[in-house]
């Protein structure tokens, strides 16, 4: 496919820049201010069925899997349904127990990823209910699923996914709110999340305005041979996704770890040559995350924090606007897309066509 680059040098840059509009699109027409809930037309799941769900299992690959991890957290916290995410490929090769009271959700930008499609087909064969959270309208996974929701990110051309990741997470927030309001989430809580969702487009624009600052940081860290990304609970999938972005386009080795796991091994790696990118939101885990920064500093590790205010233990902080705790991961991922982008640019990489990768993996 070839689309107008709209004055950008790369599709990746264009797609990162489109995120305020893309998020606006996924929200449009879906919020119900009377009941403080969300309507998602294509779910094919009535309230009684929604109340009968005992578990949620989310399946996807790569970036879509990471969006699913955040989605699982949103469903657990807003709808109080046990939820988790797993790479679709792993799931389908381990002969999973398919449970009729579990809602399965397949996530895919292209809607054509073979491992996801095969997982959906296996689930359907075993009588499971499967929803799709998909970007490309009418794609194979969208057609195969019992229902679902489109993420409306618009065409994504760059091999590395950016705007579709963000929109997928927003779509999960909508789904979680919808399920939550059918179950135990109060009107006031529904309103709180809706107000948070509505702030996202302007807050994303605000983050995009700090691109020059992020570019300078990227140039400072681009000499690293390897980077560590850490986050806790909601921040951990953000770390996973940011490390994948960096690997894909800069070819710098990167690892993502839950901040709480550092002391169980990876702390041994910390030294000045291994910088750490830390996700440090102003939430109930702030003090725990700060303690991790101290551990790293004590070993002379360089730290770049993504936080809601300047972190004194960090060498640099990218400050992002605060939203509701549950929605913070959406915003914290954005500057790290730009960090990966500018790191790759500083290293002269072919950003839209990273080596060895294809936009969609339609074979096994």
Just list the catalytic residues.
Answer: 359
DSSP 284-322: TTHHHHHHHHHHHHHTT--EEEEESS--TTSSEEEE---
Interface with ligand AGP: number of residues (CB under 6 A): 16
Q: Which pair of structure tokens corresponds to residue 358?
A: 């294809």
Q: Tokens 């290293």 sit at which residue?
A: 347
Q: Binding to ligand AGP by residue 64, rule CB under 6 A?
A: yes
Select 196 or 335, whichever has its Cβ closest to ligand AGP: 335
Between the CA of residue 303 and those of 93, 263, 295, 316, 332, what are the distances in Å? Answer: 38, 17, 11, 7, 16
For ligand AGP, the binding residues in 210-249 under the rule CB under 6 A are 248
Select 116 or 177, whichever has its Cβ closest to ligand AGP: 116
Give 234's DSSP letter. T
Q: How many helices (H) and strands (E) does the chain have?
A: 13, 12
Q: Binding to ligand AGP by residue 167, rule CB under 6 A?
A: no
Q: Binding to ligand AGP by residue 334, rule CB under 6 A?
A: no
The residue nearest ligand AGP at its CB is: 62
Among 89, 108, 149, 167, contact with ligand AGP (rule: CB under 6 A): 108
Task: Name the minimum Å distance from CB 160 to ligand AGP.
Answer: 4
Q: Binding to ligand AGP by residue 160, rule CB under 6 A?
A: yes
Binding region for ligand AGP (CB under 6 A) out of 49-57, 212-220, 312-320, 355-363: 355-363
Binding region for ligand AGP (CB under 6 A) out of 143-151, 153-161, 189-197, 258-266: 153-161
Beta strand ranges found along the chain (DSSP E): 31-32, 37-38, 55-60, 83-87, 102-108, 129-134, 147-150, 226-231, 253-258, 276-280, 303-307, 316-319
Q: Binding to ligand AGP by residue 62, rule CB under 6 A?
A: yes
Phi-psi region of 277 (alpha: psi -120 to 50; beta: other; left: phi over 0): beta
Q: Binding to ligand AGP by residue 113, rule CB under 6 A?
A: yes
Residue ranges that bind ligand AGP, judged by CB under 6 A: 61-64, 108-110, 113, 116, 159-161, 248, 357, 360-361
């Amino acid at each position: 496919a070839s689309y107008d680059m709209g004055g950008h040098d790369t599709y990746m840059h264009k797609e990162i820049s489109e995120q305020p509009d893309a998020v606006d699109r996924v929200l449009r027409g879906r919020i119900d201010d009377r009941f403080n809930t969300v309507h998602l037309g294509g779910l094919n799941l009535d309230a009684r069925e929604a109340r009968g769900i005992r578990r949620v299992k989310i399946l996807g690959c790569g970036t879509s899997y990471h969006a699913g991890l955040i989605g699982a957290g949103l469903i657990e916290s807003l709808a109080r349904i046990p939820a988790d995410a797993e790479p679709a490929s792993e799931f389908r090769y381990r002969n999973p127990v398919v449970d009729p009271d579990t809602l399965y959700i397949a996530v895919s930008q292209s809607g054509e990823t073979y491992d996801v499609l095969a997982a959906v087909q296996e689930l359907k064969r075993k009588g499971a209910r499967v929803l799709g959270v998909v970007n490309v309208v009418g794609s194979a996974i969208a057609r195969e699923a019992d229902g679902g929701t489109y993420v409306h990110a618009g065409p994504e051309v760059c091999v590395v996914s950016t705007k579709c990741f963000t929109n997928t997470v927003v779509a999960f927030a909508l789904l979680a709110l919808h399920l939550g309001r059918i179950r135990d989430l109060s009107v006031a809580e529904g309103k709180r999340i809706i107000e948070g969702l509505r702030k996202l487009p302007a807050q994303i624009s605000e983050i995009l305005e700090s691109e020059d600052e992020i570019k300078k940081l990227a140039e400072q860290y681009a000499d690293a041979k390897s980077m560590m990304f850490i986050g806790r609970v909601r921040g951990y999938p953000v770390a996973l996704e940011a490390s994948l972005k960096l690997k894909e386009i800069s070819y710098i080795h990167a690892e993502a770890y839950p901040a709480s796991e550092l002391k169980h091994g990876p702390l041994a790696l910390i030294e000045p040559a291994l910088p750490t990118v830390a996700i440090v939101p102003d939430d109930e885990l702030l003090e725990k995350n700060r303690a991790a920064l101290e551990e790293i500093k004590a070993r002379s590790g360089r730290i770049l924090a993504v936080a809601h205010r300047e972190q004194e233990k960090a060498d640099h902080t990218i400050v992002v606007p605060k939203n509701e705790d549950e929605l913070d991961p959406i915003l914290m991922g954005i500057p790290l897309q730009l960090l990966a982008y500018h790191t790759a640019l500083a290293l002269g990489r072919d950003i839209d066509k990273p080596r060895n990768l294809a936009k969609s993996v339609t074979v096994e």
